[in-house]
Amino acid sequence: MPVKKELNRFMNNLPNLKFNRLNIIVLIGLLAIVGVLTMQLVMLNEAYMFEKKELGEKIHFALQDVVNKIYRDNNNELPNASPIKKVSEDYYVVNVDDVFEAEILEYYLHSEFQKVKLDMDYEYAIYNCKSDEMVYGEYVTAQGREAKADKLKCEKCFSKREGLVYYFAVRFPQLRHSYITSLQQYWIYTGVLLLVLVIYVYSVLLLLKQKKYTELQKDFINNMTHEFKTPLSSILIASNYAVKQEAIEGNPKLSKYLKIIIEQSNKLNQHIERILSVAKTESSVIALEKKPFNVVETLELVRENISLKFENAVVTLQTGKENYSIKADEFHVYNIAYNIVENAVKYGTDTPKVLINIKEEGKGLALQFKDTGPGIPSEHLEYVFDRFYRVPRQNTNEIEGFGIGLFYVKKICELHGWKISIENNADKGIMITLHIPKSNLV
């Protein structure tokens, strides 16, 4: 996408941007890059003007020395006025005002240009007063004179000068190209800076667009979950009332169906609450109520509830002592511990086993959740805490939920200032560890 179009698009969006931290950083970065690019263009222009002046002086000095030698050979005095006339950037006319030999002129031009290290192609022509035209032109490369069969490459470029009789003209066809090649490093730097500016603007536009989509996604999730909760609450109220009626209690089949409705509605309600919790965590709306509590009792409650929900699960709590007090949000700590153990049971074997171990780690505390399930392939381990990420399985019907449970766990740990790690066990299963620093211990 062209730079001008991207810049216009970005500048048009500036009035609509709120000046939060991200937008201020983006704007400062843009101004910094534009400033550096402007300075580089100024330096490039100055270097171009300097190179142009230097080459012009070299040419002038070399031609002046050629004239001096011709006048010396003819034993004439130099004129007061400069005999060198710069007609254009690459075209010079030199009025010798005396006879001279073409071979001698060619020798002098080559030697003087070599002295000033003017390594570029040139061509020259001499005015013949008898034929009233420019004749005896030669094209000379930077390496030396070509064969005499190669005449001027641009005869029309040499025009007659009125009022002059003994003069010659020199043209440098590669002069402008020489400016560009001599400033090659400046062009490279400018090109790199221009490329950085394009990438920066394009990245910022993608970032702003992604941020906009993220905000729309959050609004959609919040609105969707709130809209779901109203009819779901009505379903639960009606189902709980209906299941207690004599007609339903006397009909085992209807009673079974109503219990399924209640059970699945409660399950859906849990998913909605979990999505809302993640949305709040993402938008930093969630506020932690940190207070001291015994983490052993909280984990024991998690063990009991999991055992009641999954009768075939074996959950064991192992601790060095009966009281480990930490300062944290007990509600969210319970939720993340329950999520970890529930995942271990759901994706475990037919008789899942989970070991919860409270271990002193340096000056802090480590909560280890070790299961005996199938484990997670190593290439997926680093993504399990990403939002909406679910580990691929052979039977897709075994995948439940939305892939936000472990994402919620990680977010709560980050809000508490804890670290979380996951690894495969040596034999089978995985182990998730919550690292609680000393500052959270009571």
One DSSP character per residue, 271-315 reads HHHHHHHHHHHHTT------EEEEHHHHHHHHHHHHHHH-TT-EE
What is the spatial distance between Cα 300 and Cα 306, in angstroms, rounded to a whole number?
10
pLDDT, position 176:
73
Dihedral pair phi/psi, residue 359, rounded to 5°: -130, 135
pLDDT of residue 317: 93
Pairing assessment for the beta strands 314-319 and 353-361 based on DSSP bridges:
parallel
CATH of 291-440, one of 3.30.2130.10, 3.30.565.10, 3.90.1150.10, 3.40.50.2030: 3.30.565.10
**DSSP at 433:** E
CB neighbours of 293 closer than 8 A, spacing ≥ 6?
Answer: 325, 326, 328, 330
Does the global pTM surpass 0.85?
A: no
Domain-by-domain residue ranges, the chain?
A: 3-51+182-212, 76-178, 213-282, 291-440
Q: Answer whether 105's CB lies under 8 Å from 124's CB.
A: yes
pLDDT at position 421 is 92
Name the 3-class secondary structure at 16.
helix
Q: Give the per-residue pLDDT at 293.
A: 94
Give CA–CA dist 302/317, Å, rounded: 10
* Per-residue pLDDT at 294: 94
Ordered mean pLDDT values, 10 residues apiece, the chain (442 residues): 51 53 78 83 83 86 90 83 86 85 85 85 81 73 54 68 83 77 76 83 83 74 70 82 82 84 79 66 66 93 86 90 91 88 86 92 90 85 78 56 75 90 89 92 86
Which strands form 419-424's sheet, in the order they lie side by side?
314-319, 353-361, 364-371, 430-436, 419-424
For the chain, how many residues are written? 442
According to the model, what pLDDT value does residue 152 have?
55
DSSP 385: T
Q: How far apart are CA 293 and CA 28, in angstroms?
A: 46
Rg (CA), the chain: 43
Per the listing, tokens 């690894």 go with 423
Q: Which two tokens stand for residue 44?
A: 């490039």
3-state secondary structure of 209: helix
pLDDT for res 190: 78
Look up residue 84 and give its two tokens: 């060198």
Which pair of tokens denotes residue 16? 């609509």
CB count, 10 Å around CB of 183? 17
Under 8 Å between Cβ of 433 and 368: yes
How far is residue 130's CA from residue 127's CA, in Å, rounded to a whole number? 9
**What strand order describes the sheet that includes 84-88?**
84-88, 91-95, 167-171, 122-128, 133-141, 144-145
The pLDDT of residue 419 is: 93
